[in-house]
Copies of this chain bind each other. A is one copy, B any other.
Amino acid sequence: MHIVQVGMEYDVLKENNKIANSNYRLLKENGIKTIEFMGSIGSGKTTLIIKLAERMRKKGLEVCAIAGDVTGDDDQRRMRESGLEAVNCNTGHECHLDANLVRKSLKDIDLDRCDAILIENVGNLVCPADFPLGADYRVVVISTTEGDDMVRKHHDIFLHSDVAILNKVDIADAVGVDPSVIVEDYRRLTGGLKTMYMCSARAEEGIDEIMSVLRL
């Protein structure tokens, strides 16, 4: 929602950053590792989170998720059906989570017994970039089904994230996309410094490497 309510000087982004820093401190004080997943609709964030959480639980970690969406509880239900405890976080109209919404969701999580929190942002490859939530890592997930031009079109989110993942590589041929183009665009955007990790969350390919990259 973009209506501008005025009357006082107010910098939404600065205020968000303040709350994000406070979230980060709260989570660290409780020894909780937090990872945020950003990415477009259908990029496979929910499936990836479910697969990572399964592996984390097998390691004996207590994991909880925050399922961000504009409306509905589809992702929360999918997570719960997989055995992952999840809090639903609807923005109502907004196209991204913000640190304050996450702060409220944290009240519904038993921070004492939680080891890790996986946050799924609203499906959107543009707006979440500006709003850090207080996580240890920001991960962007894209899918081969989105075409090969994602990195060229959306610099911001790739530059604002710590880790980039290309999902659904198993159906790249079916959708006529060459993953190497995307990976090379990302390498170039990050000055040759960073690698995009490839996986198929549904086919369980590449998940172990992502566990290792995220130090889970």
Contact = CB atoms under 8 A, between A and B. Distances in A.
A3 B122 CA distance: 19
A7 to B, nearest CB: 7
A130 B71 contact: no
A59 interface: no
Contacts of A41: 40-41, 125, 146-147, 150, 153-154
Contacts of A122: 126
Interface in A191-205: 202
Contacts of A126: 70, 95, 122, 124, 127
A83 interface: no
A48 to B, nearest CB: 13
Contacts of A4: 4, 6, 10-12
Given A4-B12, A42-B143, A126-B95, A176 B154 contact: no
Interface in A132-150: 143, 145-147, 149-150
B95 A124 contact: yes
B175 A145 contact: yes
Contacts of A1: 130
Copies per complex of this chain: 2
A93 interface: yes
Interface in A39-88: 40-42, 69-72, 74-75
Interface residues of A, number: 48
A125 B125 contact: no
Interface in A106-129: 122-127
A174 interface: yes
A171 interface: yes
A127 to B, nearest CB: 5
B8 A3 contact: no
29 contacts: A1-B130, A2-B130, A2-B131, A3-B13, A4-B4, A6-B6, A6-B7, A6-B9, A6-B10, A40-B41, A40-B123, A41-B125, A41-B147, A42-B143, A42-B145, A42-B147, A42-B150, A71-B152, A71-B155, A72-B149, A74-B153, A95-B124, A95-B127, A124-B126, A124-B127, A127-B127, A145-B168, A171-B171, A176-B202
